[in-house]
Amino acid sequence: MPTFQYTARDKSGNSASGRMDADNKQDMLQKLRDKGLIPTSVSDTHSARAQDTKKALAGKGLRRGKKIKSEEMILFTRSLATMVNAGLPLLQGIDIMIEQTESANFKRVLTQIGQDIEAGLTFSDALKKHPKVFTDLYASMVRAGEASGNLDGILIQLAEYLEATEKLKREIKSAMTYPIIALVIVVAIAVGLLVFIVPKFQEIFEGLGGQLPAPTLMLIKLSNILRSYILIVIGILVAIFVGVRYYVSTPLGKMQFDTVKLRLPVFGPLFRKVAVARFARTLSTLTRSGVPVLAALEIVERTIGNEVIARAVNGSQSSIKAGATISEPLSRSGAFPLMVTRMIDVGERTGALDELLGKIAEFYDQQVEATISSLTSLIEPMLILFLGIVVGGMVLALFLPIFKLSTLVG
């Protein structure tokens, strides 16, 4: 009769482990249930393939700086929720995901998590050891699921949250990609004209003699400067880029940068809607899963992605501790639209805060989609106009002397 090694928890949550003989794995699981234990891991001591795989992977170490793709995280969360809901022990589900995951780094992370659970840690505590892979939001929701006994439901909520967040990111990227590519093309054309085309025309103009128009002279001087000091120009641009990035990484710089972002004439409203949608969805998901409001707001503050909104959320926490509602400090901050604070107020009064926050998130998701559509139709003619002004202006400056050719020859 095979011998099985197991780890389990009793009804009080205390951990237990040991070995027991059974006909097969199902018989072993039934024996544990008969003893009032909830199995978390059951493995045949004679079949150590999974354990050997874990040790081999863990021995290679974790590449802690490398992030996991969002698609892999969504697939892992949904698959694990399905397996837990079907009654499969958590560790067995993680073993299955280790075999199915294509990412070598994610395999190592899941392997370490499985080993930590076998050593007696809870799932949420094991997740917290990998903050670059599993966020505070993820670990906190899993902890709430463990406490309520609804881990599969929480994992489904997490998967839906990750899917909605990823969809929003794709929409933002699609809105920003076109203008960035167009700007790069315009700059490349302008630099190409200045470096390669303008010098050819300059030789022609010098042969003709005469006084060149002011726009042409300016263009020639700009071309000479760029060709003579191109390395210095590149160095200055790189230094400016690095300096701005460093400044934006500081608390003051990030605050000023996010403030400017929200005040931009075209993209400002879009950035605000994205931040509000993320705030509402994150807070809704956390409160629905049973995370306390103050703990949920702390997580929202760290994951909101905009310092202006984050500071408003941070300021609300001290007011809530003093007995105020969530809506009051958020309304005073001025960072949130009136509709949002009013709906939060109604949700607090009626006890349906998570539901109304979900509706706010859905509304602003739709607003983001509509704004992106309108921006796409607005940006295209603006870029064409910009291209015409920059490139057309340079071409016109080059051909102005040719238009006055008779005067120059005379």
The answer to whether residue 40 scores a pLDDT higher than 80 is no
Closest CA to 255 of 198, 322, 212, 314: 314
The answer to whether the beta carbons of residues 209 and 404 sit under 8 Å apart is no
The answer to whether residue 381 scores a pLDDT higher than 50 is yes
Report the pLDDT value the prediction gives residue 353, as an integer from 0 to 100: 86
Q: What is the DSSP string of 57-102?
A: HHHT---TTPPPPHHHHHHHHHHHHHHHHTT--HHHHHHHHHHH--
Residue 281 domain-assigned (yes or no)? yes
The answer to whether the beta carbons of residues 166 and 75 sit under 8 Å apart is no
Q: Which amino acid is at 384?
A: I
pLDDT tens readout for residues 313-337: 888 887 788 777 888 888 888 888 8
Tokens of 135: 């966020």
Last residue of a domain, one of 13, 32, 47: 47
Closest CA to 25 of 54, 2, 51: 2
Q: Are residues 27 and 172 in the same domain?
A: no
> Which residues, in sequence order, are CB contacts of 41 under 8 Å at separation 6+?
5, 6, 7, 8, 89, 90, 91, 92, 117, 118
How large is the angle between the packed helices 151-192 and 70-85, nearest 10 degrees?
170
How far apart are alpha carbons 48 and 56 in whole angstroms? 12
Residue 135 domain-assigned (yes or no)? no
**Segment 353-364 mean pLDDT:** 89
pLDDT tens readout for residues 192-222: 888 888 888 887 777 766 677 888 888 888 8
pLDDT class for 112, splitting at 50, 70, 90? very high
Residue 328 domain-assigned (yes or no)? yes
Question: How many domains, the chain?
Answer: 2
How far apart are alpha carbons 346 and 93 in whole angstroms? 41
Tell me if the pTM is above 0.85.
no
Residue 56 domain-assigned (yes or no)? no
CATH number at residue 15: 3.10.20
Report the pLDDT value the prediction gives residue 111, as an integer from 0 to 100: 92
Tokens of 252: 């003051």
The percentage of residues in the chain with a pLDDT greater than 70, rounded to a whole number, is: 88
Residue 225 domain-assigned (yes or no)? yes
The domain containing residue 11 runs over which residues?
1-47
Residue 93 domain-assigned (yes or no)? no
Closest CA to 283 of 368, 353, 367: 353
Residue 243 domain-assigned (yes or no)? yes
Closest CA to 278 of 310, 256, 248: 310
Q: Does 56 or 136 have the greater pLDDT score?
A: 136
Strands 3-9 and 15-21: antiparallel
The answer to whether residue 302 scores a pLDDT higher than 60 is yes
The answer to whether residue 158 scores a pLDDT higher than 90 is no
Q: Which amino acid is at 10?
A: D
CATH number at residue 366: 1.20.81.30
